[in-house]
Amino acid sequence: RNLKESIQDGVSYMGHFLEKLSPLGRGLQPRLYQDSAGLRKAIRTELDSLRQKLSPYVDEVHQQVGKQLDELRQQLQPYTEELLDQVSLRARELRRHLVPSREVTAQLLDGADELQRFMAHYADKIAFHTDQVKDIFHPYAERLLTEIHRNVEELHRSVAPHARASPEQLNQHIQELSAKLTRNARDLHQQIQKNLEQLKAKLSLYPGSLGGPAAPPGRSREALAREVQRRVEEFRRDTYAQIQAFTRALDQETEEMRLKLSARPDPPEEPLDATPPPLEDLRARLDALWRDLALSLSERGG
3-25+34-263+277-299, which class in CATH? Answer: mainly alpha
Instruction: For 57-210, list the strands marked E by DSSP.
Output: none
Higher-scoring residue by pLDDT: 246, 11: 246
Higher-scoring residue by pLDDT: 169, 246: 246
Averaged pLDDT for residues 110-119: 64
Percent of the chain with pLDDT over 90: 31
Nearest to 164 by CA among 64, 273, 284: 64
Least confident of 90-94, 97-101, 153-157, 241-245: 97-101
Nearest to 137 by CA among 74, 75, 199, 181: 199
According to the model, what pLDDT value does residue 274 have?
A: 53
Least confident of 2-16, 81-95, 167-181: 2-16
Averaged pLDDT for residues 64-76: 84
Q: Classify residue 28 by its DSSP letter.
A: -
The CA distance from 154 to 147, in Å, is 10
The CA distance from 67 to 64, in Å, is 5
According to the model, what pLDDT value does residue 3 have?
A: 53
Contact 153, 113 (CB under 8 A): no
Least confident of 76-80, 86-90, 152-156, 281-285: 281-285
Instruction: Assess whether pLDDT exceeds 70 at residue 207.
Output: no
Q: Where are the domains of the chain?
A: 3-25+34-263+277-299
Instruction: Assess whether pLDDT exceeds 90 at residue 180.
Output: yes
Contacts of 177 (CB under 8 A, 6+ apart): 152, 155, 253, 254, 257
The CA distance from 7 to 297, in Å, is 7
Contact 221, 105 (CB under 8 A): yes
